[in-house]
Amino acid sequence: MNHSRQFLPALLLVLVLSACAPATPVRHLASDAALLRPGQTTITELHQYLGEPKGVRNVSAGVKEYVYSEDTFSFWGEMPLVGRFADANGYEMLIVTIREDVVQNVVFRKFSEKDQEWVKDYNWK
């Protein structure tokens, strides 16, 4: 009986702390971009680091752009259980230019809903 009294608070602490862990792996496109070296990283390595892109477009003969994007959330959106009810407040985008199966250029962009607030204040005459 005495062991269960000592075990119960420890079990409760483990359950509370495990509830704080994210339900899905967190991805940071900015740090993923740091893995890519223009002129050196091959398309095979790109797939190994970042996986399949969300979009691919042909720019010209032998040149493609791979687009990776992820939604970003506020503090509440990152929390387990509560986060599934939160809407995204922006997104991150990584555009990788590939020529002849080698990364040539990497551009990281971050967009927020607040970027478009000027539309509400602008005088549209």
CATH number of the CATH domain containing 100: 3.30.1450.10
In a domain, 67, yes or no: yes
In a domain, 92, yes or no: yes
Instruction: Judge whether residue 91 has pLDDT over 70.
Output: yes
Q: Please give the tally of structural domains in the chain.
A: 1
The reply to whether the predicted model has a pTM over 0.85 is no
In a domain, 87, yes or no: yes
121's tokens: 């204040």
Instruction: Report angle CA 11, 85, 83 to the nearest 5 degrees.
Output: 45
In a domain, 104, yes or no: yes
Choose the weakest-confidence range: 32-36, 49-53, 54-58, 112-116. Answer: 112-116
Choose the weakest-confidence range: 24-28, 51-55, 120-124. Answer: 24-28
Instruction: Judge whether residue 29 has pLDDT over 90.
Output: no
SS3 assignment for 6-49: HHHHHHHHHHHHHHCCCCCCCCCHHHHHCCCCCCCCEHHHHHHH
Q: What type of residue sits at position 74?
A: S
pLDDT score at 39: 95
Q: State the pLDDT confidence band at 42, using cuts at 50, 70 and 90.
A: very high
- Find the mean pLDDT for residues 33-40: 92
